[in-house]
A and B are shown apart, each in its own frame.
Chain A
Amino acid sequence: MEWIGLLNYAVFMAIFICIYGLLALGLNIQWGFTGLFNAGIAGFFAVGAYASAILTTPEAAGRIGGFDLPVPVGWAGAMVLAAAIAWPIGKICLRFRSDYLAIATIGVAEIIRLVVKSEDWLTNSARGVTNIPRPFGDLPYVQSQLAYLALVGGILLVVYLLVERQIAAPWGRMMRAIRDNELAARAMGKDVPFRRLEAFIFGAALMGLGGALFAHLNRAITPEAIDPMVATFLVWIMLILGGSGNNRGAILGVAVVWVIWSFSEILTDQFPPEIAIKAKYIRIFLIGLMLQLVLRFRPEGILPEPQRGVSGKKDL
Chain B
Amino acid sequence: MEFLELLNFYIIPGLVLGSIYALGAVGITLVFAILRYAHLAHGDIATLGAFVAFAAVTLLGLPVYAALPVAMVVTAFAAVGIDKLFYDYLRERPRIVTVMASLGVALMVRSLVQVIWGVDAESYIRGIARPENWWGIRLKDREIVTILTMIGLVLALQLFLMKTKWGKAMRAMSDNPNLALLSGVDNGKVVFLTWLIVGGLCAASGFFLGLNTELKSMMGWQMLLPMFAAAILGGVGRIEGAVLGGLIVGVAEEVSVIFIPSEYKAAMAFVILLLMLLLRPTGLLRGKVL
Contacts and interface: CB of A to CB of B under 8 A. Distances in A.
Interface of A: 35, 37, 39, 89, 92-93, 95-100, 102-104, 106-108, 110-111, 114, 117-118, 229-230, 233, 236, 240, 278, 281-282, 284-285, 287-289, 291-292, 295-296, 299
Nearest to B37: A99
Given A97-B96, A295-B104, 4 more contacts: A99-B95, A100-B290, A102-B99, A292-B104
A93 B40 contact: no
B108 to A, nearest CB: 4
B38 A100 contact: yes
A229 B221 CA distance: 10
Contact of A285 (B112, B269, B289): B112
5 contacts: A35-B96, A104-B270, A107-B270, A229-B221, A281-B111
Interface residues of B, number: 45
A118 to B, nearest CB: 4
B90 A37 contact: no
Interface string B248-268: 000000000000010110110
Nearest to B289: A96
A92 B274 contact: yes
Contacts of B267: 110-111, 114
Nearest to B90: A295
Interface in B207-225: 221, 224-225
A104 B273 contact: yes
Interface centre among B37, B38, B281 (most CB of A within 10 A): B38
A236 B264 CA distance: 28
Contacts of B224: 106
B5 to A, nearest CB: 26
B93 interface: yes
Nearest to A117: B263
Contacts of B99: 37, 98-99, 102
B103 A282 contact: no
B123 interface: no
A240 B99 CA distance: 14
B263 A288 contact: no
Contacts of A100: 38, 277, 290
B89 A281 contact: no
Contacts of B32: 99
Contacts of A292: 85-86, 101, 104-105, 108
B100 A291 contact: yes
B115 interface: yes
Contact of B97 (A92, A230, A278, A295): A295
Nearest to B224: A106
B107 interface: yes
Interface string B267-285: 1011001100110010000
Nearest to A290: B104
B8 interface: no
A110 B95 CA distance: 24
Contact of B263 (A106, A118, A284, A287): A118
A92 B95 CA distance: 21
A103 B38 contact: yes
B97 A299 contact: yes
A29 B225 CA distance: 26
A278 B96 contact: no
Contact of A111 (B86, B101, B106, B270): B270
A285 B97 contact: no
Contact of B107 (A35, A95, A288): A288
